[in-house]
Homo-oligomer: A and B are copies of this chain.
Amino acid sequence: MCQLLALNCFNPTDASFSFTGFSQRGGRTGDHTDGWGMAFFEGKGLRLFVDHQSAAHSPVADFLRRYPIKSRNIIAHVRKATAGNVSLENVHPFARELWGHHWVFAHNGHLTEFAPQLHGNFTPVGQTDSELAFCWLLQELSKSHAAMPSTAELTLTLQELIPQVSRHGTFNMVLSNGLALWAHASTQLHHIARAYPFGEATLADQDWHIDFAQHTTPDDRVAVVVTTPLTEDEPWQAFAPHELRVFEGGSLVAQHMGDAAHAKARQALPADVLLRIDEAVQRIQNMLAQANAGGPGVGTTQ
C-alpha cells in the first residue's frame, strides 16, 4: 500500500508543513520506502519531482522540505511497491497532458483483473495498475469531451468512470488538472478544509506545532486530503467507502457517495424533500463557484 497527499488552495500555498509530516511515512514513521513523488501546479505549468529513493532519506525530498514552492494544487505520494518494480517509471504521481492542460494522478490500492482496452493516446510507461487506470481515465475523459469542460461536467463524467475502475479492487486516488482536485476513496482517505479563523495544529509524524493564524491571510482557504490524518488535533473528515469529493478554490464543492449508498440514502426521503435538497446543493455549489472565481491573494505554509 501507499500513502496519498493532496492540497487544493484558494491562494498559492506551500506544503512544507504537510510534506514534512507526510514524507516521514516514507521510511521513518511508515515503511513506504519504494520511491516518492510530488507535483506542483503553477498556473498552467507543472513541476513534477519523482525519486526512487525513500522520501525520508532522499536528498531531493530534503530539498523540498526546506524550499517552499507555492501552488494552488499539489499532489504527493509515498510508495510501497505492490505491482511494478521499484524504478522511476513506476513512481507516482503520474502526469499526462489532455486538452492542453497537465493532469496529475496518484493512487493507493491494488486492482485485479483490470485490463481495459487502450487506444494509444495514453499508454503506460511503467508496469503499475495505477498508471494503467490513469491512462484509461484520461482516454475516457477525452472521448466524453472535445475540450476542457467545467469542473462540474468533469465530475459527472468521473462519477461514471471511477466505479468501472474501483470494482476491480481498492481505488483510493487523487486527480488534478491544476484547477480542481478530485479525491475518491475505496477504503481510506481523509480531508480537512482550513479557513479563517485559522487555528493551531501539531504534526502526527514529526515534532512540529504550528499556529496557522501567524502564516495566513483572512482570504486563505486550503483543503488537505491525505490517507491518514497528518495532524493530531484537527477534525479530519473520513471519506465514506466509494465517496468522491471535489475541491476547488480550497473548498469542498461537491461530495458524491457511491451509487449503492447514495441510492439507499435517497430512498428514505420523500420526493419533494429530495428536490429541495438538490436545489439547495446546486445553489451552494453556484455560490462557491462564484466565490472561488475571486482574485488571487497570498497564501503561506500549510
Contact = CB atoms under 8 A, between A and B. Distances in A.
Interface of A: 42-52, 59-60, 63, 67, 87-91, 96-102, 120-126, 142, 146
Given A43-B89, A88-B43, A88-B45, A99 B126 contact: no
A89 B123 contact: no
Given A59-B67, A67-B60, A97-B96, A91 B126 contact: no
Given A46-B125, A99-B123, 15 more contacts: A42-B52, A43-B87, A44-B125, A45-B50, A45-B52, A45-B88, A47-B49, A47-B50, A47-B88, A48-B48, A63-B67, A97-B125, A98-B123, A100-B123, A102-B125
Given A45-B91, A88-B43, A124 B100 contact: yes
Query: DSSP class of A's interface residues: helix, strand, loop or mixed?
Result: mixed
Contacts of A50: 45-47
B126 A97 contact: no
A44 to B, nearest CB: 4
A140 to B, nearest CB: 15
A151 B96 CA distance: 24
